Chains A and B, each alone.
Chain A
Amino acid sequence: MSDFAPAAEVATTRAALERLKANMRVTIKGKDDVIEQTLVCLLAGGHLLIEDLPGVGKTTLAYSLARSMDCAFSRIQFTSDLLPTDVTGVSIYDETVKEFVFKPGPVFASVVLADEINRATPKTQSALLEVMDRSKVTVDGEAHAVGAPFMVVATQNPVDYEGTFPLPESQMDRFLMRLQMGYPQPGDEMEILRSPRTGYDAIALNPVVTRSEVLKMQALVGKVFVEDTVLDYILKIITATRTEAEFKAGVSVRGGLALRVAAQARALMLGRDFVIPEDVQLMAGAVLAHRLSLGRQTSDALEERRTVLAALRRIIGAVPVPE
């Protein structure tokens, strides 16, 4: 990383992110940590998986993010009869020009909300996941770039399992982070109840950052400096997950890279051009937990999540912090 992150750019990034945060706070009450992590995910150029019960504000979060950035937003409601072309788009024969014309699907947007992603068949899921990986749609041998920035916010319900196709581990790995919304605090919920708004279409937010600004910020993340001992710290955490008896398998190399990028993004969000161990510690839960599965059976996904997080916390507590 020979590139510098110029101090001025770091400062403007911080200011832009503060604006974004403030804007999103208008609609998402009392969930500052979730907003921050969402922004980290955006900065890092990753995709987000939100796993929580219906009606806690997942869609609102994604929508507010899209609206605040002056970007196209689309929503795909995943069902078991959804076809891959419903996601990616399809070529149809146009009589007027006498040839096949590509009609872009809903995935051609900057922020794509994939609601209840585990309800779709694996074929459709993988169509989306391919787009996530390559930021491109290939239809009839022709590649169509979906544009930048591109961020998929997928949601799934951890409790209601009937008739779902759980995402395989390899595909979970494609998401940079997994977040939980959780219920709001009573005070915040009171405020939500007081507000007249009902649906997310009613959200009226003004964009506070432009698309080009977002792209510039994303480019800056790679320039955030990571000192060798901090890299070593990341490596030790990753290695520890691989030897921990509780887990079926440890975190992949992609997981380690994801942790580094997330820590860099968080440092940038806080106006730093270098990563400190605290960044790594605070991002580890969101970045690593969904990439780990337990070696034993648990009664439900919530318990598994709790156990994985507890084990991860134990590992982070045990790995010596570089001092």
Chain B
Amino acid sequence: MSTGTRQPQLSLDELRRLKWLLGGAMALVSLWTVFFLDVEALSLVAIAGSAILAALVWPQLPSRVPPIIWRLAVPAIIAIFAADLYTSPDTLPALIRLGILLVLYRTVSYRRKREDLQLIVLGLFLIVVAGVLTVSLGFAFLLLGFTAGALGFLFVITLIDMTERTAIALTYQEMSQCPPWARGSSRRLFVRLRQVADWRLMGFAGGLFVLVIGFSALLFMVIPRFEVATGFFLDKYITRKSRTGFTDSVRFGDVSELIRDESVAMRVDLTDSRGLRESPYWRLVALDEYTPDGFRVSAGLKGELLHNQFVTQRSRAAGAGRILNPVGGVWTFYIEPGVSRFLPLPGSYGVLRLREFMPLQTSATARLAAFRTESMTMTAYQLEDVELTPLVKDNGFVARLKHARENPEPKSRADGYVPDPLLTLRGPQGAANDAVLARVVREITGGAELPAGEFARRATAWLQERHAYALSVKLPAGEGKDDIVRWLDSNQPGFCEYFAAGLTVLARAAGHPARVVAGFHGGVLNGFENYFMVKNSDAHAWAEIFDGKSAWQRVDPTPGALTATSTNAERTLNQVQDSSWTARFDSLRVIWYRRIVSFDSRTQVQIIESVKTFTLDSGSSLRVRFEEFTKRLKEWFLRPWDARRVVRFAALAAAVAAAGWALVRLGHWGWWRWQGWRRPQEFDPVRRTAGHWLTRLRKPAEDRLQSAADREVVPDLQRLRYGRRETWPEPRGVFKRARKARRAR
């Protein structure tokens, strides 16, 4: 600032006053957290809070307290804590009460740098405890780690201070001296604060604060879904969305797009992977309506989903029937952002559980579950009582089909809420298409009426005979024919969508209700954390054909379907364990998910309960042991004392004292060794010994007159210790005289 008036600045005393206020405010905030805890400390908090407030308003107050009180404060706090620990069965509340007392002590006494740091850590302790007991465990772990760091930090600072002896702690006398900064009035300070306030700076600081908080919040939301390997996350959002094949319609080629994407689409964590014999089909969406471009979810099915939309956290599967053979225990799904609004389901399930209340759409007729929109963040849900069945029960289908055939035209309003069953019979239209389809069906069936299962088997065999598997498809030209019909008519290779669509179209032409289903097939088991990694390249499509009675039967006509869509050789479940480094990194992510994704607070409550029980038990057992000990001591004392017992006791006491003395000596010796070791290697042993003797001769001599022997030997020792080496007297003789001088005292 070259022109204009200079911005006024706070003096050092005013800054100290400000520091006092800030420290008090910090302490009050940390005390506030105690209200969140179920701890009997409210009266203590009230007392501490009012004392801190008083000290804030009148900073001179601590100087009125005589030094003896300050001297006694810490021992008193320790005594109170010990008594508290003894009387209360629970350790944790006692610890919290200790924390409150220490915060009070540190806040109402004058502080220097070290004490300020202590106050920060004490306040942090209370906040952390509140965090541990009230917020989720992941948060608690972070805070605990932070506290450990802060404690270490404080310890190091104290060590440095001890070494440099720069920030010298206040003595108790100084604690009772009113420092100059405490003298002015608070009102004046606020007037000065207003004077010196630089609004631009404050605006800047406020903006910075908001920015930091906003950025942290963003990071917090994004980090679990952030994959370092694939680069910047925004890019990932955008490309994933355009690549996804699992929308309400699947055009030919959509799924094969996905097959090239090796990134993980979802992770499935099983509590019990025993009994899992086959690699699961993860069913996402059933496409029941045929269009010349491909299959899509009919308006009726969408209507059913919409009609069955409930805000829920726990959804019981409707019409699933009894689960006969559940496997896998609880299945926890972590779906990456942008995969689909439909939830992958491995089979029939009993209960679907979400992390929080949110709108969930379900369809009983097609056994689908979906959110309203595709999630832009990681989504998680749990399934219980999962049965891996190729059947999708739909008991009402026959009746609905009959009803629809009888009333083809008038649609009641309720019909909008169920998929039109006639759609599952409608295929490509037009004479050209019909001719091809009728010929193919005749080829397959040989003109006979086959049951659905048999038809599916023969149709699959026919398809696999005519068409090989390939990821790229060249369709021959054909006037007036739909894509899928032209493919069927050719002997071009195809991929899963063509096979599934072809089978569906053929089944419909043969009069069997059928539909295309899209989802994932397979996935590899992560060997480190025992969960399924399902990649986008595991995307698959297959068909479902109605068995004519009560269920839709899964038919996978794609060649090598057992190996999912991959062209690898056959893999059984046990062989698809992934133990690569990528899997190792991926398993870290699941560990993180397991920590932060909570489906109910039950587990957390359990952990806290166990901690509480542990502290309770340890507290009470400590008390019991102490009581037993005092009782035994009393009994021992009351036993008659004869001469032999007295002698024995005296001998024992002497032995203990001797052992103690020896220990102390040993400690001293170790200390000296350590000191010697700590000094640089070149530090001369003669100098060290001379210094040692000087200390020993000096200490008692400060009180009385030095003896003649001392006067004689001390200059020589000094010369050995501090003098030039070339001028040294003979060291051993000097040390001998020093020993004599010491003995002469």
A-chain residues with CB within 8 Å of residue B165 when the two chains form the complex: 240, 315, 318-320
Q: A225-B722, A323-B694 are in contact. List 12 more A-B contacts (CB 8 A).
A: A4-B726, A7-B727, A225-B723, A227-B721, A243-B164, A244-B166, A245-B167, A272-B718, A274-B718, A274-B727, A314-B168, A320-B165
Within 8 A of B (CB), among A266-323: 272-277, 295-296, 314-315, 318-320, 322-323
Are B718's CB and A323's CB within 8 A?
A: no
- Bound-complex Cα distance A277 to B726 (A): 20
Cβ of A239 within 8 Å of any chain B Cβ, yes or no, is yes
* Chain A minimum-CB-distance residue to B694: A323
Q: Is the C-beta of B736 less than 8 angstroms from some C-beta in chain A?
A: no
Name the interface residues of B602-647: CB closer than 8 Å to any CB of A. none
Residues of B within 8 A of A239 (CB): 164
Q: A227-B723, A319-B165 are in contact. Are A245 and B112 (CB under 8 A)?
A: yes
- Give the docked Cα–Cα distance between A275 and B180 (Å): 40
Assess whether B727 is in contact with A273, with CB atoms less than 8 Å apart: yes
Q: Is A44 an interface residue (CB 8 A)?
A: no
Residue of A nearest to B675 (CB): A323
B164: chain A residues at CB < 8 Å are 236, 239-240, 243
Out of A4, A244, A315, name the residue touching B724 (CB < 8 Å): A4
Query: Which residues from 687 to 702 on chain B have a C-beta closer than 8 Å to any C-beta of chain A?
Result: 687, 691-692, 694-695
Is A230's beta carbon under 8 Å from chain B? yes
User: What would 5 A/B residue contacts be, using CB atoms closer than 8 Å?
Assistant: A240-B165, A274-B718, A274-B719, A276-B718, A296-B13
What is the distance, in angstroms, from B19's C-beta to the closest C-beta of chain A? Answer: 12
A residues less than 8 Å from B217 (CB atoms): none
Residues of chain B at interface, number, CB under 8 A: 25
Contact pattern, A 239-268, Cβ under 8 Å of B = 1, otherwise 0: 110011100000000000000000000000
Interface residues of B (CB under 8 A from A): 12-13, 112-113, 164-168, 180, 683, 687, 691-692, 694-695, 715, 718-719, 721-724, 726-727
Find out whether the CB atom of A296 lies under 8 angstroms from the CB atom of B12. yes
Q: Is the CB of A274 within 8 A of B722?
A: yes
Q: Which residues of A are at the interface with B, using a C-beta cutoff of 8 A?
A: 4, 7, 225, 227, 229-230, 236, 239-240, 243-245, 272-277, 295-296, 314-315, 318-320, 322-323
Chain A residues whose C-beta falls within 8 Å of the C-beta of B166 in the assembled complex: 240, 243-244
Closest residue of chain B to A315 (Cβ to Cβ) is: B165
CB-based contact B722/A230 at 8 Å: yes
Considering only CB atoms, which chain B residue lies closest to A271 in the complex?
B715
B13, B168, B715, B718, most chain A CB atoms within 10 A: B168
Which of B12, B683, B695 counts the most chain A CB atoms within 10 A? B12
* Bound CA span A274–B719, Å: 7
Contacts of B695 in A (CB 8 A): 323
Question: Please, which residue of chain B has its CB at the minimum distance from the CB of A319?
Answer: B165
Provide the residues of chain B in CB contact with A315, threshold 8 Å: 165
Cα distance, A236 to B162, chains bound together (Å):
12
Interface centre among A7, A274, A295 (most CB of B within 10 A): A274
3 cross-chain pairs, A with B, having the tightest CB-CB distances, nearest first = A318-B165, A274-B723, A243-B166
Whether A225 lies near B112 (C-beta < 8 A) is: no
**Are B12 and A276 touching (Cβ within 8 A)?**
no
Distance (whole angstroms) from the CB of B728 to the closest CB of chain A? 10
Q: How far is the CA of A295 from the CA of B180 in the complex (A)?
A: 13
A318 touches B168 (CB 8 A): yes
A225 and B724 within 8 A (CB): yes
Contacts of B723 in A (CB 8 A): 225, 227, 272-274
A296-B183 Cα distance, complex, nearest whole Å: 15
Q: How far is the CA of A105 from the CA of B702 in the complex (A)?
A: 51
How many whole Å from B593's CB to the nearest CB in chain A?
Answer: 48
Could you tell me the distance in whole angstroms from the C-beta of B348 to the nearest C-beta in chain A? 73
B590 to A: closest C-beta gap in Å: 50
Instruction: Select from chain A the residue with minimum beta-carbon distance to B723.
Output: A274
Smallest distance from the beta carbon of B690 to chain A beta carbons, Å?
10
Q: Which residues of A contact B718 (CB under 8 A)?
A: 272, 274, 276
Bound-complex Cα distance A3 to B167 (A)? 39
| Bound Cα distance from A322 to B113, whole angstroms | 27
Query: Which residues of B are found within 8 Å of A272, using beta-carbon distances?
Result: 715, 718, 723
Q: Which of B13, B112, B168, B692 contacts A323 (CB 8 A)?
A: B692
Chain B positions within 8 Å of A274 at CB level = 718-719, 722-724, 727
Return the chain B residue nearest A321 by Cβ. B695
- Give CA–CA (A4, B726) in the complex, Å: 9
Known interface pairs A227-B722, A276-B718, A318-B168; A296-B180 also in contact (CB < 8 Å):
yes
**A7 to B692 CA separation, bound complex (whole angstroms):** 26
* Shortest Cβ distance from residue A323 to the other chain B in the assembled complex, whole angstroms: 4
Chain A residues whose C-beta falls within 8 Å of the C-beta of B180 in the assembled complex: 296
Complex-state Cα separation, A229 to B679, whole angstroms: 10
Cβ distance A154 to chain B, nearest Cβ, rounded Å? 31
Identity of the chain A residue whose Cβ is nearest the Cβ of B696 in the assembled complex:
A323
The complex places the Cα of A322 from the Cα of B684 at a distance, in Å, of 13
Residues of chain B within 8 A of A273, CB atoms compared: 723-724, 727
A323 to B113, CA, bound (A): 29
Q: What is the CA–CA distance of A274 and B715 in the complex, to the nearest angstrom? A: 11
Q: Which of B683, B687, B694, B722 has the most CB of A within 10 A?
A: B722
